[in-house]
Structure formats: structure tokens, C-alpha cells
Structure 1
């Protein structure tokens, strides 16, 4: 029987690339996004359902899951991919944008997972793949909100890994490094207040480093992450964490090997702080 994956945030980047990869591998794909009316590529693929799902809209989550099950009979894999990054001095962020970051990256992931779990539990099988980041294991300055959400995803996923095993459901975490997507565009929420002068050297240093040619050459293409997701889903193991991108391997190895002071010192040196 053909297997089915439901993907959130499938309109671009990692989500869209993963949708195409799983389709090419012969899977049914439920490609969800906030504005499916704007999608003109995935809608042309057979065995692919493009439908609306906004992770901050409970009704849209329930409707997308129900529509996917109706279309293909079963959801074998949920890929929680939808999310964005909020960066800037914590003090500068208004509370509504702080809540939006956590509602999207954490609460939305939880609610989508809860919508799919009864179906998977009834089937006695399934796989949940949560997109985290190297930023779920380490941090950059100005990323208190984004890293807070990704650290949360890591903790939620690790606990789920234990508790869902008895139901025959696997939990996987994928940790990408720098990826050449639109994360710096519509998937990026930057807040700054230049009147808070103490923060400006950090702002300038971070964006100078992120915009450098070296950083651009280190960024992996979305297909790198999609292929890691494929491996996580199909390798038949109970492995929890998967790194995606050479820089992810390097940075997370260093974070694990070094004490806080040494790691922070090296990062400050790289940023010119």
C-alpha cells in the first residue's frame, strides 16, 4: 500500500522540496500551506493533495488532517516543518510578536501533532518528524525567541520519543544548519530599536557575519535536508536526532565537545565581538 506524508509549511524551501522528493519516491503527499491558492507547481503532481493548514488556526489543522485521511485513507508520516525565525534584542520585541513566534513554532507543532496522533495510534504505527535546527542545541546572540522555540521542540520531541514508542509511533528530530532558503525573507522576523545603543554592535556583527560570502558558501540547499528527512523516515531505526548539512555536524560536534566559556569565546571571535 502506498504510504502518505503530511507536510506543514510546504509552499517553499524545505517543505516544498521534501514534498517533491517524497512524491518522486512514490508516496502520496498532503502538502499543506497557509495560502494554497498561490501554489501552481505541487498542484500539478499526481497523488498530491494541496490544502490549507495554518498552524495558528485550529480549525484549519483539523480540516487538513480530515481531508488528507479522506483522500488517501491513512497518514503514515507527519512532517512538522512550518515555522519562522524571530531575531533581535529580546527587550525590543513587543509581546504580540513574541507570542506569535511561540504560537507558530511550538504551539502549532503541538496542535498539529495532537490532531494526527489519534489516527496513528488507532493504526498502531506512524512517524512524527519535527524540524528543529542547530539552534535547538546551540544559540546565536539576538535569537532568544527563535532558539527558545527550537529548544522547546527538542524537549517535546525527546519526551514524545519515549511515550509514543508503546503506541508503535516513532519520533524523529531533524537539525539543519544554514540552509539556502527564504529564512532571511518572509520566514524571518527581525526587530530592532536603534535607540537601545548597547545592542547595536551585536546587531551589526551578527548580520555582517550572516551576510558574508563565507556563510553563503556554507549554506546547504533544501534538498540536503529533504534527503535527511527521507532517511529519518525510512531507515527503520529508532534514532531520534539527525543532522542536516556539513556545518550542522561541525558546529554541534564543537558544542558538545567544548565547555560554555570556550564555545562562546570562539563564537564571539568569529562574529568579531
Structure 2
């Protein structure tokens, strides 16, 4: 077991959902948490919930590389170093690829992937100074399977998966003390689906109108449960973490039926 007590962990997207639960869970294990989120009010609420646990917070957009660098630099300066980063911030847009404006597609890629790249790039030198630590990148079950109206989200989460797998292989040879973990959450009861920009559904369907209700019905895991699974993955040195029974089912279907998995997964989702 790897001990998180006394470690300094940076968490993006800490103003709500999994990020908030991660901050609280890490703090309870004795970690110092440096938090970031674009939502200043949500971040302030997380800080209030942390109370006297050691932490810092800064509100900024993770696509602002200078702000990202300043946040990491300040965490190192204030707390004496950095032991890990959890690249958790993310967003989605709902539309078939042909109906997704370029600026919306690029925004998803910038937040979900490019900001993860920069988080890894900026944090890795500091973590290397410690000799060991964690880089945790939040992908998705949509980083294992394609899904209609989610082309931008799929692309970003597959990219996070590829980046994390490559870094895991590289650092296991050059820096074996640094654990690179890719996380594939299934349906989590967060605001990601509710806050997604909804542009269009598939032709002939009304899924756009009831997508929020359908997601909340299908979501099987709470943010606290998801965070606990991630933290256990950090403690046990896993390099891949699946969250929720739906993630495990999807993982199995994709492995067993790499061509026709969508038919089987679709039946599972419809029956949920």
C-alpha cells in the first residue's frame, strides 16, 4: 500500500462532483490538496467543506496554460513540493459529428485532452523531484467505446487513454516510483451530463430532450464512491481503474465483441 499521508496532490475540477469528493477523500487520508476549478463559487464551497484540512484553491480555466503553470508553481512554493496531480476537469457537448460546430469540438478537446497534456507536462518535473508519486488522468467508458452524439467527448477521452497508457509504459521504466493511472468512470451522478452543451440528437429520436433524465437513471455510482475507488487505485498502485458495474460491463463487452459491442451495450442501457 502506498501512503497518501503528508503528500501534496493537485486536483483539477475540484469545485463539484468527483473532483470535490477526491479533495475531501484525500484530505481525510492526510494529504494536502491544491485545488483548481473554473467555478469559483463551487471551489469556495469545496474549500469550506475542507475546513481546517490543509489545502489551497485557485479559480481559473485549465486551458489557460500560464494559469495552470502558476497554480502548480504556487502549490510547490506553499507546500514544499508536489507528489501528484489528478487531471479531472472535463466537459461535453451533445451532437452528431456533422452537427458539432468546430469551436465546440475544439473546446471539448482543449479542456478534456490538451489541458491534461499540459497538467502532466507541468507536474511531472516536480513529481520527479520527489522520486515517487502519481499522475491520474480521468478518461471515461467513452474512452473505450464509441457513442452517438459524443464524437468530441469520445475523441478527447480516447486521447487521454492513449496518452496515459504511453506514459505508464515509459515511466515504469524511467521512473518506476511514479504511477500513471488512467480512470474509466461509468455513469456517475455528477453535473457533467446536465451541464453539457446540447446541440442536436440523432435523427428521428427524442433522446436530446430526455438525455438528462436518462443519464441520471442510468448512473449507478456516486461521486464519493468514484473518488474512493480512484484513491484506492492510487494506494495500490494500479495503472487502470474502472468505476462502477457499468464500466466493468462495457469493458467486458468491448473485449469480447470488438465489432458488435454497441448492440449489446445498447440493450443493456435500454433495460436500465
Instruction: Within 5 Å, give how 1:56-205 maps onto structure 2.
Output: 56-165=63-172, 166-167=174-175, 168-186=177-195, 188-192=196-200, 199-201=202-204, 203-205=205-207
Q: How many residue pairs were aligned? A: 261
**Pairwise CA distance, 1:192:** 1.9
- Give TM-score scaled by structure 2 length: 0.88
**Structure 2 counterpart SS, 1:260:** coil
In the alignment, the residues of structure 2 paired with residue 244 and residue 271 of structure 1 have an alpha-carbon distance, to the nearest angstrom, of 16
**CA distance change for structure 1 residues 5 and 271 in 2, over 3 Å: closer, same or farther?**
closer
- Provide the residue aligned with 2:62 in structure 1: 55
Native 8 Å contact 2:36 2:43 kept in 1: no
Native 8 Å contact 1:174 1:228 kept in 2: no
Q: Deviations over 1:102-153 (max 9, x none)?
A: 1111101001111111111222222100111111111221111101111111
- Provide the residue aligned with 1:196 in structure 2: none
**CA distance change for structure 1 residues 65 and 221 in 2, over 3 Å: closer, same or farther?**
same
Instruction: Within 5 Å, give how 1:215-234 maps onto structure 2.
Output: 216=217, 218-234=219-235
Native 8 Å contact 1:141 1:206 kept in 2: no
Is 2:30 the partner of 1:29? no
**Structure 2: stretches of 5+ with no match in the other structure:** none
**Pairwise CA distance, 1:271:** 6.8
Native 8 Å contact 1:205 1:271 kept in 2: no
**CA distance change for structure 1 residues 121 and 40 in 2, over 3 Å: closer, same or farther?**
closer
Is 2:252 the partner of 1:248? no
**Pairwise CA distance, 1:50:** 1.1
**Pairwise CA distance, 1:2:** 1.0
- Give TM-score scaled by structure 1 length: 0.88
In the alignment, the residues of structure 2 paired with residue 43 and residue 22 of structure 1 have an alpha-carbon distance, to the nearest angstrom, of 13
**Pairwise CA distance, 1:269:** 4.5
In the alignment, the residues of structure 1 paired with residue 212 and residue 26 of structure 2 have an alpha-carbon distance, to the nearest angstrom, of 31
